[in-house]
Structure 1
Amino acid sequence: MLTRFIPLTAAVGVLLALVFYSKWNPDPPRVSGMIEADEIRLGSRVGGRIAMVHVQEGQEVAAGDVLVEFEPYDLLEREKELELSLAVRQSQYQQTLAGFRDEEIAQAKAKFDQLQARLDLLVAGPRPQEIEAARGRQALAEAEKRLATQGYERLSKLAGSNATSQQEMDAAREALEAASANLVVRQQELELLLAGTREEELRGAAASVEEARQAWQLMQRGYRQEEIEQAKASRDAAEAALQAIRRQKEELRVKSPIDGRIEALDLQPGDMVAPGAPVLSMLDRNELWVRSYVPQTRVVNVGQRLRLSIDSHPDRTFEGVVTFVARQAEFTPSNVQTPEERSKQVFRIKVGIDDQDDLLRPGMIVDVWLDELGANR
């Protein structure tokens, strides 16, 4: 009987010891949470019709991989048009910057010299030889008129005795009138030469000379700085428009910004997508974190390092850093369990995970131990 009582007494003693040990050394407080990853919703600022889809849901992609391509529509034609426009603006800017060619300056100088010579000619007036020639032409016209007058008078006397015909009288009369008109013309020519150049002609010729001189000097000086700046601004505007089109072309290919996994994708070639609308979403597995809720009786600070444990890796302990603590308390969500009473309010926290071995996945349930990590080392 005594032999049976001794083992029973020993077992009761061990149980009591374990109870006292658990009372004096309770497990550290912990809360549960779920591993989450940042979701990136990708789209295009231009939108349009889907041309190709290169990925599927759940597929792992690397940064820079092309995920979806849009049809270019008229972007290629507009890009070509703007390239030609930029070439024209660049040529105009270079022409303005270089100034006028030597041949153009020489042409302007020749025109100035030509007009200056004409002005000098007008100022000098007719030469004496021209005046003498005009007087000689006037004298000749006077002689021709006298001869025509004598012939007409002689035929007039003969006409009284019917010794000449009417036809001869008409010819003599026309010859007299022509000689008289020719004499008037020669007299006017001589008077014009004697009067010299009119003042109005001199002023007009001087104005033409001044205009040609200013044009020549303008070509020598080249374009004004304001004109060069205007040509440059026009060139820069064309270049900016071309860059905008090329940026739109880049938006035709939706690329992955990070290494991650495609989370949601519901597209087929030919689908229409509005500009700015997301076409797929992906998870950033390089930035895992735990969303959890801490009772208000526990104090957790940003930057505090905590232990993490997960059922799928019971032999491993992970580390995390508190990156966020809510400023305002809230009621405990129904899917979160804590050792404290559920009616108490909690603070939402985010704990960044250090998972260098790539063992954790979004959606896993994690225990977050609220004791300071350094206290367990």
Structure 2
Amino acid sequence: MNKVKSRVTILVLLLLAAALYAGWTHYARRDTPITLYGNVDICTVNLAFRVSGRLATLQVDEGDSVKAGQAIAALDTAPHHNALRQADANVASAAAQLALLQEGYRREEVAQVRSQMDQAQAAYEYADKFYQRQQGMWGKGAVAQNTLDDARSARQQALATLQAAKEKLGQFESGNRPQEIAAAEAALAQAQAVQAQAILDLSDTTLTAPSDGVILTRAAEAGSMLSAGSTVFTLSLTRPVWIRAYIDEPQLGQAIPGRQVLIYTDSRPDSPYHGTVGFVSPSAEFTPKSVETPALRTDLVYRLRIIVNDADDLLRQGMPVTLHFTTDSVTP
């Protein structure tokens, strides 16, 4: 009986020791800062003109530092100046045509048309009286039927001429139709749109840096004919600078966005950079071959993006770094 109790006691103690060891290792692993390995990831931008033309000048070369808004290359502007002058002329012509239609006819033109109507009125009155006389004489048998028909025809022609003169006078007095003015306004708007595009094309003959950075490559030489979108420079941006790293699932709980990270490089082993966890991939992937980790290559990991807060020119694209998660709280 005593042996059974002893065995039960020993078994209970062993189970209790195992539970304590498991709990200790769990909390120790959770609280112990982890170390990861990653690489510097710097954004690069391909710079190109939005218009085609002959490359006239290059103001920078590979390795040069540039500032945001700095002019770094230019195209030959002569064709674009010509296009702008033509667009300006088309706008002036369309504006003049619209103003002419909106202003209507001049008083001299209206007076001339009114005079023509008066002449047509007099001609009709004469033709009408002549026809009346011929009709009376035809009734007495004094004129032939052909003479009466000629008088009637002349009267109808005079009436038609008078009616046309009245309509023309009404047009001149009322001005142009709203549809004609609307068409002229649309033509002016179209000419102005072409002018605005010509101005934009002319401004696009100067290539400027979108942000601070360093010229990595120059892909064209002065004098080359370039099509729109052809890369001229590749720019490495000064900011932002990121670290690409990977973490396995058991340690994923420590990769909290905003957590502070110390970043060590081989050239600065005692002076770390400071960063924060900015992004944790929501999906797992197999460990890339370029990642240095003691875990198996086939392990599933999650990609991290560490934002470097105090980056300088010593951090280069692809540089390997070592990451130490600090025990500090998450950055607010």
The answer, yes or no, to whether TM exceeds 0.5 is yes
Q: Mean alpha-carbon deviation: is it higher for 200-209 or for 260-269? A: 260-269
Within the candidate set 333, 341, 357, 2:289 is matched to 333
Is residue 300 of structure 2 the alignment partner of residue 345 of structure 1?
yes
Gaps of 5+ in 1: 1-22, 129-189
Q: Which amino acid aligns with 1:244?
A: Q
Deviation at 1:42, TM superposition (A): 0.7
Give the structure 2 partner of residue 323 of structure 1.
279
Q: Which residue of 2 aligns with 1:134?
A: none
Q: Report the secondary structure of 1:198's partner residue.
A: helix
Does residue 366 (structure 1) correspond to residue 321 (structure 2)? The answer is yes
Deviation at 1:244, TM superposition (A): 2.1
Report the equivalent of 1:56: 61
Which stretch shifts more, 238-247 or 321-330? 321-330
SS of alignment partner, residue 121 of structure 2: helix
Q: Do residues 272 (structure 1) and 225 (structure 2) align?
A: yes
**Contact 1:293 / 1:347 at 8 angstroms: preserved in 2?**
yes
1:95-131 CA distances to partner (integer Å, 9 max, x unpaired)? 1122222222222222111211221222233999xxx
Q: Which residue of 1 aligns with 2:23?
A: none
* Structure 2 CA distance for aligned equivalents of residues 359 and 280 of structure 1: 19
**C-alpha contact 1:53 1:267 (8 A) present in aligned 2:** no
Tell me the equivalent position of 1:110.
Answer: 115
The aligned residue for residue 51 of structure 2 is 46
Work out whether residues 260 and 331 of structure 2, in 8 Å CA contact, stay in contact via their aligned partners in 1. no
Amino acid at match of 1:329: E
1:84 equivalent in structure 2: 89
Root-mean-square deviation (CA), in Å? Answer: 3.2
- What SS does the corresponding residue of 1:340 show, helix, strand or coil? coil
Match of 2:166 in 1: 213
TM (normalized to structure 2)?
A: 0.77
Match of 1:119 in 2: 124
Q: Distance in 1 between matches of 2:28 and 2:270?
A: 25
Could you say which residue in structure 1 is the equivalent of 2:13? none
User: Relative to 1, partners in 2 of residues 1:375 and 1:288: Cα closer, same or farther, differing over 3 Å?
Assistant: closer
The amino acid that maps onto 2:301 is V
Instruction: Name the counterpart of 1:305.
Output: 259
The answer to whether the aligner puts 1:296 opposite 2:273 as a matched pair is no
Q: Tell me which of 79, 92, 100 is aligned to 1:95.
A: 100
Distance 1:57 1:33 in 2: 27
Q: Which one is further off, 292-301 or 228-237?
A: 292-301
Instruction: Give the superposition deviation at 1:205.
Output: 0.9
Is residue 354 of structure 1 aligned with residue 316 of structure 2?
no
Contact 1:324 1:351 (8 Å CA) reproduced:
no
Q: Is the 8 A contact 1:304 1:372 kept in 2?
A: no
Q: How many residues align?
A: 291
The CA deviation string for residues 277-321 of structure 1, in whole angstroms up to 9 with x for no partner, is 111111221211111111232226673423122232734551323
The answer to whether the Cα contact below 8 Å between 2:217 and 2:234 also exists between their aligned partners in 1 is yes
State whether residues 257 and 279 of structure 2, in contact with CA within 8 Å, keep that contact through their aligned partners in structure 1: yes
Cα distance, 1:324–1:100 mapped onto 2, change above 3 Å: farther
**Residue type of the alignment partner of 1:258:** S
Paired residue for 2:177? 224
Q: 1:137-216 residue pairs with structure 2 within 5 A?
A: 198-216=151-169
Q: Cα 1:282–1:324, aligned 2, differ >3 Å: closer, same or farther? A: farther
Q: Secondary structure at the match of 2:216?
A: strand
Instruction: Name whichever of 199-208 and 104-113 sits farther off.
Output: 104-113
Please give the alpha-carbon distance, in whole angstroms, between the structure 2 residues aligned to 1:296 and 1:24. Answer: 17
8 Å CA contact 1:332, 1:346 repeated in 2: no
- TM-score (normalised: structure 1): 0.68
Amino acid at match of 1:310: Y
- Cα distance, 1:332–1:287 mapped onto 2, change above 3 Å: same
* Equivalent position SS for 2:68: coil
Q: CA deviation at 1:89?
A: 0.9
Which range moved further: 256-265 or 98-107? Answer: 98-107
Partner Cα distance (2:324, 2:297) in 1: 18
What secondary structure sits across from 1:55 in the alignment? coil
Larger Rg: 1
Residue 376 (structure 1) shift: 10
Aligned partners of 1:30 and 1:338 also within 8 Å:
no
